[in-house]
Structure 1
Amino acid sequence: MALNKKQLAEFETQLTDWKAELEMGQSANVHSMTELEQTSFPDPTDQASMETDRNFDLRIKDRERKLIKKIDQAVVRIKDGEFGECESCGGDISVKRLHARPVTTLCIECKTAQEQEERTRLD
């Protein structure tokens, strides 16, 4: 079941809005990190806590950066007519799955198989 033009337009709008929201958060974080803030505390525990918080924020922002890249790739797939197509088996990705995770490139069956294979390799 291929997606119709209306559904594709809705997904494109959802993705571009999501990207804009993430980018706004990214720029706000960069701005807050570059503002004057106390970077040295007399108490080592306070210093460690501040560094832990900063590292946590940086990990989140790195994940958001990667998500922005996936969003861009999904928009390209929409424009190329490949959105909603599983890159593994070539079948259709369900609309329900696309609503849950619009940047996905695998149908639920292929994703489940991939995760099972990853768990097997870790064991």
Structure 2
Amino acid sequence: MNERQLDYFKKKLLAWREDILRESKDTIGNLQGQSLHLADPADRASSETDHALELRTRDRQRKLISKIDAALRRIETGEYGYCDETGDPISLGRLEARPTATLSLEAQERHEKREKVHRDD
């Protein structure tokens, strides 16, 4: 992967990270601004369900941020774009679709097949 491509993915990852952080700040503001002291039990239950869903989404995004940070570290160390399992280059199309990918498409497919076999036991 050349420097221009690495720079492109670095900017993409940084922008993605900033979007997630901005959304998280908005969520915190919304959750703090809303009151769960609703008189109607159905309204309160609906509000609590919405809050729980939002918090679950934020937790998933928190985990995604750690993957983004790991990808940024791999860019800095020169390991970005190479499969952790085989050492082969990961296709640009795969990285475009999933910039945090650590496995080539073939290695990912093998990994998922192994997971499925072990999960069915």
Between the aligned partners of 1:48 and 1:122, the Cα distance in structure 2 is 35
Structure-2 residue corresponding to 1:116: 113
TM-score, reference length from structure 1 = 0.93
Between the aligned partners of 1:79 and 1:57, the Cα distance in structure 2 is 33
Between the aligned partners of 2:5 and 2:54, the Cα distance in structure 1 is 34
Between the aligned partners of 1:38 and 1:16, the Cα distance in structure 2 is 34
Structure-2 residue corresponding to 1:64: 61
Between the aligned partners of 2:21 and 2:35, the Cα distance in structure 1 is 26
Q: Does 1:8 align with 2:10?
A: no
Between the aligned partners of 2:113 and 2:54, the Cα distance in structure 1 is 31
Structure-2 residue corresponding to 1:89: 86
Structure-1 residue corresponding to 2:19: 21
Q: Does 1:52 align with 2:59?
A: no
Tell me the C-alpha RMSD between the 2 structures: 0.9
What letter corresponds to residue 18 of structure 1 in structure 2?
Answer: W
Between the aligned partners of 1:43 and 1:31, the Cα distance in structure 2 is 23
Between the aligned partners of 2:90 and 2:35, the Cα distance in structure 1 is 49
Structure-1 residue corresponding to 2:75: 78
Gaps of 5+ in 2: none
TM-score, reference length from structure 2 = 0.94
Residue 40 of structure 1 and its aligned partner are, at CA, apart by 2.1
Residue 39 of structure 1 and its aligned partner are, at CA, apart by 0.8
Residue-by-residue CA offset, 1:17-41 (whole Å, 9 max, x unaligned): 1111111111111122122x22122
Residue-pair matches, total:
120
- Percent identity over paired residues: 38
Gaps of 5+ in 1: none
What letter corresponds to residue 67 of structure 1 in structure 2?
Answer: L
Residue-by-residue CA offset, 1:40-88 (whole Å, 9 max, x unaligned): 2222221111111111000100111111111111011001000001111
